[in-house]
Amino acid sequence: MFDALRNYINNYASSQISEEDFDLVKQAFKHKKIRKRQYFLQEGDVCKYTAFISKGAMRQYSVDENGNERIIRLGIENWWMGDFESFVMLTPSLYNIDAVEDSDILMVTNEQMQLLRAQVPAIEATIKVMDQNRAIAYEKRIRASISFSAEERYLELQKTYPALLQRFPQTMIASYLGISPETLSRIRKQLAVK
C-alpha cells in the first residue's frame, strides 16, 4: 500500500528515505479505499486532506449553473489529488473530487504535511521538486489554453500524458480540455483520417 509512496519519494528526493523516516511518513498518512463514483470532496466542504493515489483514477471538477461538469484535473497512480487552495487556506472548496475507478489513496492533512516536511529531509526535497514541476506543468497548460486550438490541445495531452487517454472516458477528456464531447469526437475522427 505504501510502496507506491515510498518509490515516489525515493524517485523525487535525491537519496533513499531511511526506514525510520518512512515510519514517520506512514504514521502521518491515513489509508482509505474509495469506490468508483464515491466523493473524496464535495463543493462547499473544506479540503482537509490531500491524497496520494496509490491505485486508481480520480477527477476534480466544478459544476456550472447549467449543471455542466468542468473537469480541471485528472489523476491516476502516483499523482496527488485535492483542492490545493482549500487545503492550504482552509476555505470551502468550489470543487468536487470523486473516484473514476475504485482507488486506494493515502491521505494527509496540511498540518501533518508541514510537520513531516520539517522532520524528514526527503519529504522536504520531494515537495520542493513537486512545487517546481507543478509550476512548470501549470504554465504549459496556461500557454496551451491561450495559444492553442482544441485539436492542438488534444495532441499536446496525448503527447504529455497518454496514460490519461486510456483511463478516462472521452467525455471527461473533452471536459478537461475545455471542449464539448462532440468536438472531441470530431477531432479524433479527423485525426484518424490523416
Give whichever of 120 and 174 is closer to DNA, judged by the CB atom.
Answer: 174
- Smallest gap from Cβ 2 to a second copy, in A, equals 25
Question: How far apart (Å, rounded) are the C-alpha atoms in residues 145 and 149?
Answer: 8
> Which of positions 62-91 make contact with a second copy (CB under 8 A)?
62, 64, 70-72, 84-85, 88-89
Nearer to DNA, 27 or 149 (CB): 149
The binder of 135, among DNA, a second copy, none, by C-beta within 5 to 8 A per type, is a second copy
Q: How far is the CB of 54 from a second copy (least distance, A)?
A: 23
- With CB under 8 A as the contact rule, the residue among 131, 160, 165, 190 that binds a second copy is 131
**How far apart (Å, rounded) are the C-alpha atoms in residues 62 and 156?**
23
Work out whether 189 is an interface residue with DNA (CB under 7 A). Answer: yes
In what order do the strands lie in the sheet containing 80-81? 30-34, 103-109, 49-55, 80-81
Q: Is 183 in the site for DNA (CB under 7 A)?
A: yes
Q: How many residues bind DNA (CB under 7 A)?
A: 18
Task: Tell the smallest beta-carbon distance from residue 180 to DNA (Å).
Answer: 4
Single-letter amino acid code for the residue at 28: A
Q: Which letter, b or e, does each residue of 64-77 get, where b requires 16 or more Cβ atoms within 10 Å of its Cβ?
A: eeeeeeebebbbbb
Q: Are strands 49-55 and 80-81 parallel, antiparallel or unpaired?
A: antiparallel
